[in-house]
Amino acid sequence: MVFVVGLLEFKPENMATQICISIREPTTQKAVESAARAAEWADLVEIRGDFIRDLDLGLLLRVKPRPVIFTLRSREQGGAYHGSERRRLETILQAARCGADYVDVEFSAPWQVILQGVPRERVILSHHDFEKTPTDLNSLADAMAASGAGILKIAVRACCLADNVRVAHLLERGRERNLKLCALAMGNAGLSSRILGSLWGSWMAFASLPGGDETAEGQVPADVMTYQYRVREISRATQLYAVVGKPLMHSLSPRIHNAAFVARGKDAVFLPLEAASFGDFLQFHAKFPLQGVAVTIPYKGDAQALAYSLSVAAEQTEAANTLILKESRWHGENTDVEGFLRPLRRRTHPGKMRAVVLGAGGAARAVVYALRSQGADVCVVARDAAKARVLASKFEATHAGWDQLESLRWDLLVNATPVGTYPETGVSPVPAGFLTGQWVYDLVYNPAETLLLKEAAQRGCTTIAGSEMFLGQAWKQQCLWCETPPPENVMENALTEALAQPLPNRMSRDR
């Protein structure tokens, strides 16, 4: 069965992703210009008329580089329209007469007025829940379908990864009934529904204009949807990989791992899964099986407990930051160890070094284990003396108080604390006068050059940036997942490009 809707052909049995870029601009002219820009990536353009102060429908719809959805969202449904409801509905009808390919009207509004004046196949009946994902989405979809509207849109808020499973079930049921249904989950936890929605049966996927404002929480820029996540190429044969943690949305892992998969020619996509709990992640995995997972804060201990088998590094550090699916069971690895050692080994032999490690958390544990495994002498220094003592004892290292740092002699100083991370870039974990050794290694990678590294270089130390460790552990993950080394230059270029575009509140360590 094939439905022809406006300028688009919809085939439920073999649906390709349609990317819809939602335009939010303050003037008609800017909306026209943005719609023209959107044509590079979009199959559809949604113009949010409720944000346009000088709305001129004739000018707005005169030239359409892509089919246009006209939306005049009410304030009750998250929009910015201030006029009367009667005037709003009249404007929607006028937009249809002026050439809008589709018009959107809310299920909570007098939608019958729109269906009386616009052919049903051009009407999108929408519902938004900005607080939660309702438990009974099927009943809602049935009631909306009974209206006779040609296209249904249901947007809910994901409070956990499991809410994506509800959206997927809704879409799969809609596909079985040949409904033209767009369903998605807003918010960080709902990103998977935007990337995988078409695989589940969604009629379109919403994206923001690159460089423009998002019109809903969690929208992904269209160029990222197209080139990083390759949503138009995702099929049932596509293997799924992910990073799981919380918070997560500024993770750089998807960028470099997806670049590696493209360079390999591997049919796979790497997703960020911001999970409410590790059990929440397992519910997602039960519905959408993953082949490999990168695990970050705060779930490394959970990953270790889950794993059927562990590498020596994962067992010794009591943390698994990488899971590999082997014969339906998870094997746990800790690639932070190799990620830390790899850039160091390229420069020198760490075996005879005297090293001072700042911090006593999970990152410090991986560093201390890595250095001790090479034979280095290690001293742990942390604000919490008890934690420093426990960590040192576990790996037969020494420990010292923070007030003793100035008197310590070292060849290698490692910062395994978050001090110096964006936005607090003007601070260093140690005064510049303490930098008397040869090597300084900072695990923080945002900014790319921390104040600690700048001051260390000025004092003649050789420095190693945290981005090298991040790249090293990701390289090792690719080796484990694909059983062959990845194209390291591709991953390095992807990371360099990402770091050149700073994001607010990006995590200091994505491990």
> What is the edge-to-edge ordering of all strands in the sheet holding 439-442?
398-400, 377-381, 354-358, 412-415, 439-442, 462-464
> What is the edge-to-edge ordering of all strands in the sheet holding 292-295?
268-274, 239-245, 292-295, 322-326, 329-333, 309-310
Beta strand extents in 277-436 (DSSP E only): 292-295, 309-310, 322-326, 329-333, 354-358, 377-381, 398-400, 412-415
Are 117 and 111 in contact by the 8 Å Cβ rule? The answer is no
d(CA 140, CA 471): 46
Compute CA distances 229 → 317, 333, 392, 419, whole Å.
32, 25, 42, 32
Q: Name the residue among 410, 366, 403, 407 with its Cα closest to residue 385.
A: 403
The SS3 of residue 115 is helix
Q: Name the residue among 128, 176, 174 with its Cα closest to residue 151.
A: 174
Q: Catalytic pick from 246, 300, 352, 387? A: 300
Residue whose entry in the numeric block shows the structure tokens 């995702």:
234
The tokens of 189 are what? 């936890």
d(CA 511, CA 508): 9
The SS3 of residue 271 is strand
Could you confirm whether 300 is annotated as catalytic? yes
Q: Name the residue among 362, 18, 40 with its Cα closest to residue 201.
A: 18
Q: Name the residue among 383, 462, 465 with its Cα closest to residue 417.
A: 383
Instruction: Reply yes or no: is the peptide bond before residue 486 cis, omega within 30 of 0.
Output: no
Question: Which sequence positions are flagged as catalytic?
Answer: 300
